[in-house]
């Protein structure tokens, strides 16, 4: 079974030489049953990220580099996943803020247990997180909004640690409009409401203080995205995606 691990990056020349060797060693030891590959998806970096990525791809087997000329994590994931022939496509943040021990059970759920989407959760029982009070409050409020508006069961929409099956890539990705940070929420909401099974895995997560995310601006954009998706559900825009 082919497994793609995408690392979306923007100006990460310092983080990549640290995280890629760690991730490569982990996958080699713990995910040997899969034909896996790591893809660095560079969305318009303006530092030395392209050079560093190419060096890593030449030094490590199963590491490759993809360059996009436009910014956006969602855009990078769409391009990486749709151009791949992997049975399971996944992604994680370059800082490895989510502990890698949660990765094998998430992939196993999709490969062997009938789940369609896997997502890390910093909010469910068993999770262990270290982050600022500001981010904690914003995250919990946002996820409560999702539950109130869509009656969803997944617990954490925003954790940068997800995996999907090839069916999800082929059927759901074409209808996801967001190309930035709301991509994750849109994927999970549409997926669950259309009958795709979501596997929540509790994670150990440590906040990256060098994050590129503008917290307040992202939260506002996410709220706008929620109302857009809700309007489309009410208009029946996703009815053709529902599993019978």
Which structure tokens are listed for 43?
């969305």
Q: Which fold has domain 2-241?
A: Spore Coat Polysaccharide Biosynthesis Protein SpsA; Chain A (3.90.550)
Burial 59-92 (b: 16+ CB within 10 A, else e): ebeebbbbbbeeebbbbbbbbbbeebebbbbbbb
Low-confidence ranges of the chain (pLDDT < 70): 208-214
Quote the pTM value: 0.94
- pLDDT confidence of residue 81: 98
Residue 220 has a pLDDT of: 87
Q: How far apart are CA 58 and CA 61, in angstroms?
A: 7
Token output for 35: 């034909």
What is the C-alpha separation between 103 and 100, in angstroms, rounded? 5
The pLDDT of residue 213 is 62
pLDDT for the residue 93: 96
pLDDT of residue 137: 86
The ranges assigned to domains in the chain are 2-241
pLDDT given for residue 104 in this prediction: 98
**Residue 153 exposed, middle or buried by CB count within 10 Å (0-12, 13-18, 19+):** exposed
Three-state secondary-structure class, residue 27 = helix
pLDDT of residue 165: 98
């Amino acid at each position: 079974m082919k497994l793609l691990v995408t690392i979306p990056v923007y100006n990460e020349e310092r983080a990549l030489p640290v995280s890629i060797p760690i991730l490569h060693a982990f996958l080699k030891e713990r995910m040997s049953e899969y034909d896996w590959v790591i893809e660095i998806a560079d969305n318009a970096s303006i530092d030395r990220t392209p050079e560093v990525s190419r060096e890593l791809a030449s030094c490590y087997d199963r590491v490759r580099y993809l360059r996009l000329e436009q910014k956006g994590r969602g855009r990078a994931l769409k391009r990486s996943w749709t151009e791949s022939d992997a049975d399971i496509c996944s992604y994680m943040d370059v800082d490895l803020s989510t502990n890698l021990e949660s990765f094998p059970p998430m992939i196993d759920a999709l490969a062997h247990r009938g789940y369609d989407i896997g997502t890390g959760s910093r909010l469910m029982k068993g999770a262990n997180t270290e982050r600022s009070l500001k981010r904690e409050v914003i995250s919990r409020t946002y996820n409560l909004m999702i539950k109130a508006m869509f009656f969803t069961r997944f617990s954490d929409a925003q954790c940068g640690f997800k995996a999907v099956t090839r069916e999800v890539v082929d059927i759901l990705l074409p209808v996801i409009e967001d190309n930035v940070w709301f991509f994750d929420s849109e994927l999970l909401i549409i997926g669950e409401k259309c009958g795709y099974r979501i596997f929540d895995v509790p994670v150990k997560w440590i906040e990256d203080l060098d994050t590129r995310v503008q917290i307040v601006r992202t939260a506002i954009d996410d709220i706008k995205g929620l109302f857009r998706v809700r309007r489309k559900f009410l208009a029946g825009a996703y009815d053709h995606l529902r599993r019978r």
